[in-house]
Amino acid sequence: MKTVYSPRHHGHSGHVELYNGQIVPAFEKPERAEMIRAAVEARGFGATIAPAEHGLAPLSRVHDPRYVDFLSQLTELWLADERPLPILPSFWRAPGMRYIEPETVDGKLGHFSFDAGCCFVAGTWDAIRASADVALTGVDLIRAGESSAFALCRPPGHHAHANAMGGYCFINNAAVAAQAFRDAGAGRVAILDVDYHHGNGTQTIFYDRADVLVLNIHGDPRQEYPYFLGHADEIGAGDGEGFNGNYPLRWGTGFDAWGEALDHACHRVAAYAPDVVVVSLGVDTYKDDPISQFRLDSPDYLAIGGRIARLGLPTLFVQEGGYAVEAIGVNVANTLEGFLQR
Residue numbers annotated as active site: 159
Q: How far is the CB of 141 from ligand OKP (least distance, A)?
A: 24
| Cβ burial 32-49 (10 Å sphere, 16+ → b, else e) | bbbbbbebbbeeebbeeb
**According to the binding rule CB under 6 A, does residue 225 interact with ligand OKP?**
yes
Q: How far is the CB of 100 from ligand OKP (least distance, A)?
A: 27
Nearest residue to 279 (alpha-carbon basis) of 213, 187, 210, 184: 213
End-to-end CA distance of the chain: 13
**According to the binding rule CB under 6 A, does residue 157 interact with ligand OKP?**
no
- Selected from 117, 157, 236, 338, the binder of ligand OKP by CB under 6 A is 117
Given the complex with Zn ion, which of 89 and 155 has the nearer CB atom?
155
Q: What is the C-alpha separation between 86 and 16, in angstroms, rounded?
A: 8
Given the complex with ligand OKP, which of 199 and 274 has the nearer CB atom?
199
Number of H helices and E strands in the chain, helices first, is 9, 10
Q: Which residue's Cβ has the minimum distance to ligand OKP?
A: 321
- Residues in region 160-179 near ligand OKP by CB under 6 A: 167-168
Question: Are residues 330 and 305 in contact, defined by beta-carbon separation less than 8 angstroms?
Answer: no
- Selected from 30, 58, 282, 329, the binder of ligand OKP by CB under 6 A is 282
**According to the binding rule CB under 6 A, does residue 284 interact with ligand OKP?**
yes
**According to the binding rule CB under 6 A, does residue 133 interact with ligand OKP?**
no
Q: DSSP letter for 192, please.
A: E
Given the complex with Zn ion, which of 26 and 74 has the nearer CB atom?
26
- Residues in region 13-32 near ligand OKP by CB under 6 A: none
Other C-beta atoms within 10 Å of 211: how many? Answer: 16
Burial class (CB in 10 A: 0-12, 13-18, 19+), 312: exposed
Give the phi and the psi of residue 227 in degrees, each rounded to 5: 65, -40
Given the complex with ligand OKP, which of 182 and 295 has the nearer CB atom?
295
| Residue 117 binding result from ligand OKP, Zn ion, none, given CB thresholds of 5 to 8 Å by partner type | ligand OKP
**According to the binding rule CB under 6 A, does residue 321 interact with ligand OKP?**
yes
Given the complex with ligand OKP, which of 114 and 225 has the nearer CB atom?
225
DSSP 52-79: PP--STTTTTTS-HHHHHHHHHHHHHHH
Q: How far is the CB of 115 from Zn ion (least distance, A)?
A: 13
Q: What is the C-alpha separation between 302 and 310, in angstroms, rounded?
A: 13
- Selected from 320, 327, 333, 337, the binder of ligand OKP by CB under 6 A is 320
Question: Are residues 149 and 1 in contact, defined by beta-carbon separation less than 8 angstroms?
Answer: yes
Q: How far is the CB of 196 from ligand OKP (least distance, A)?
A: 6
**According to the binding rule CB under 6 A, does residue 230 interact with ligand OKP?**
no
Partner residues linked to 18 by β-bridges: 23
**According to the binding rule CB under 6 A, does residue 234 interact with ligand OKP?**
no
Q: How far is the CB of 125 from Zn ion (least distance, A)?
A: 22
Binding residues for ligand OKP, per CB under 6 A?
A: 117, 156, 159, 167-168, 195, 197, 225, 282, 284, 291, 320-321
